[in-house]
Amino acid sequence: MKVAVCVKQIPDPASPGELDPETKTLKREGKLVLDESDSYGVEMALQLVDAAGGGEVVLVSMAPNNETSGLRTALAMGAASAILVSDPALLGSDALGTAKVLAAAIKRAEPDLVMAATESTDGYTGTVPEQVAELMGLPSVTFAKHVEVAEGTLKVNRQTEAGFDEVECPLPAVVSVTAGVVEPRYPSFKGIMAAKSKPVEELTVSDLGLDAGEVGWAGARQEIVNIAPAEERKAGEIIEDEGEAHLKIVEFLEQLKVL
Amino acid sequence: MPLSTIWVHAESVDGKPASISLELATQARELGATVEAVHAGGDAEALAQAIGPYGVTKLHTTGDTDGCLPGVVLAAALAGAIKGGAAPDLIMFGTTYDGRDTAARLSVRLDRPVLTNNVTVTADGDVVVSTPVFGGTTFVDTAFRCDPPHLALFRPKSFEPSESGGGPAEVVTLEVPDVGATRGAKIVERHVEERSGPKLDEAAVVVSGGRGLGEAGKYDMIEELAKLLKGAPGASRAIVDAGWVPYAYQVGQTGKVVKPTVYIAAGISGATQHMVGMKGSKNIIAINKDPEAPIFSIADLGVVGDVHKVVPKLIETLKARG
Q: Secondary structure of B56-117 in the HEC alphabet? A: EEEEEECCCCCCECHHHHHHHHHHHHHHCCCCCCEEEEECCHHHHHHHHHHHHHHCCCEEEE
Which B-chain residues 185-204 have CB contacts (< 8 A) with chain A? Answer: 185-193, 204
Whether the Cβ atoms of residue B181 and residue A138 lie closer than 8 Å to each other: yes
Q: What percent of chain A has pLDDT over 90?
A: 76
State the best of A143, A161, A239 to mutate against chain B, taking most chain B CBs within 10 Å. Answer: A161
| Chain B CB contacts of A256 below 8 Å | 261-262, 283
Spatial distance between the Cα atoms of A64 and A205, rounded to a whole number of angstroms: 10
Spatial distance between the Cα atoms of B82 and B104, rounded to a whole number of angstroms: 16
User: For position B313, what pLDDT does the model report?
Assistant: 97
User: For position B306, what pLDDT does the model report?
Assistant: 97
Distance (Å) of CA B119 to CA A38, A106, B116, B154: 26, 33, 9, 6
| Closest alpha carbon to A143 in A113, A125, A122, A164 | A164
- For residue A61, the cross-strand partners are A84
Show Cβ contacts of residue B10 under 8 Å, excluding neighbours closer than 6 positions. B17, B18, B21, B25, B37, B38, B39, B47, B51, B56, B59
User: For position B192, what pLDDT does the model report?
Assistant: 86
Q: Quick check: B101 and A142 CB within 8 A?
A: yes
Distance (Å) from the alpha carbon of B52 to chain A's nearest alpha carbon: 23
pLDDT at B179 over 80: yes
Among B97, B109, B188, beta carbon nearest to A160: B97
Is the CB of B108 inside 8 Å of chain A's CB atoms?
yes
Amino acid identity of B67? G
Span between the terminal Cα atoms of chain A, in Å? 58
Q: Quick check: B137 and A95 CB within 8 A?
A: no
Spatial distance between the Cα atoms of B266 and B309, rounded to a whole number of angstroms: 11
User: For position B241, what pLDDT does the model report?
Assistant: 83
Q: Quick check: A95 and B113 CB within 8 A?
A: yes
Question: Could you give the 3-state DSSP secondary structure of residue A171?
Answer: coil
Handedness of CA B95, B97, B99, B100 (dihedral sign): positive
pLDDT digits (tens, 9 = 90+) for A121-135: 888 899 999 999 999
User: For position A12, what pLDDT does the model report?
Assistant: 84
**The sheet that has A153-159: what strands, in order across it?**
A200-203, A81-86, A56-63, A2-6, A113-117, A173-177, A140-150, A153-159, A163-170, B186-192
Burial of B98 (0-12, 13-18, 19+ CB in 10 A): buried
Q: Chain A residue closest to B75 (CA)?
A: A134
Amino acid identity of B30? E
Q: Quick check: B72 and A19 CB within 8 A?
A: no
β-strands B16-17, A140-150 pairing: unpaired
Show Cβ contacts of residue A107 under 8 Å, excluding neighbours closer than 6 positions. A136
* Residue B198 DSSP class: S
* Residue A53 DSSP class: T
Which B-chain residues 86-105 have CB contacts (< 8 A) with chain A? Answer: 95-97, 100-101, 103-105
pLDDT at B154 over 80: yes
Q: What percent of chain B has pLDDT over 70?
A: 99
pLDDT digits (tens, 9 = 90+) for B290-322: 999 999 999 999 999 999 999 999 999 999 987
- Give mean pLDDT, residues B210-217: 96
Task: Name the stretches of chain A with pLDDT < 70.
Answer: none
Whether the Cβ atoms of residue A259 and residue B319 lie closer than 8 Å to each other: no
Which B-chain residues 115-154 have CB contacts (< 8 A) with chain A? Answer: 115-117, 126, 128, 132-134, 136-146, 153
Q: Quick check: B300 and A94 CB within 8 A?
A: no
Whether the Cβ atoms of residue B221 and residue B315 lie closer than 8 Å to each other: yes
Other CB atoms within 10 Å distance of the CB of residue A151: 6
Spatial distance between the Cα atoms of A146 and A156, rounded to a whole number of angstroms: 5
Q: Which residue has the higher pLDDT, B1 or B191?
A: B191
Question: Per mean pLDDT, which range of B96-105, B136-145, B206-215, B246-255 is the poorest?
Answer: B246-255
Q: Quick check: B189 and A166 CB within 8 A?
A: yes
pLDDT digits (tens, 9 = 90+) for B20-51: 999 999 999 999 899 999 999 999 999 999 99
User: For position A179, what pLDDT does the model report?
Assistant: 81
User: For position B248, what pLDDT does the model report?
Assistant: 83
Spatial distance between the Cα atoms of B299 and B123, rounded to a whole number of angstroms: 35
Average pLDDT, chain B: 94
Whether the Cβ atoms of residue B140 and residue B276 lie closer than 8 Å to each other: no
**What DSSP element (H or E) covers B25?**
helix B19-30
* Residue B165 DSSP class: -
Is the CB of B318 inside 8 Å of chain A's CB atoms?
yes
pLDDT digits (tens, 9 = 90+) for A33-60: 999 899 999 999 999 999 999 999 999 9
User: For position B1, what pLDDT does the model report?
Assistant: 59
Distance (Å) from the alpha carbon of A19 to chain B's nearest alpha carbon: 10
Spatial distance between the Cα atoms of A86 and A203, rounded to a whole number of angstroms: 6
| Chain A CB contacts of B188 below 8 Å | 166-168
pLDDT digits (tens, 9 = 90+) for B229-287: 999 999 999 998 888 998 889 999 878 999 999 999 999 999 988 998 999 999 999 99
| Chain A CB contacts of B229 below 8 Å | 253, 258-259
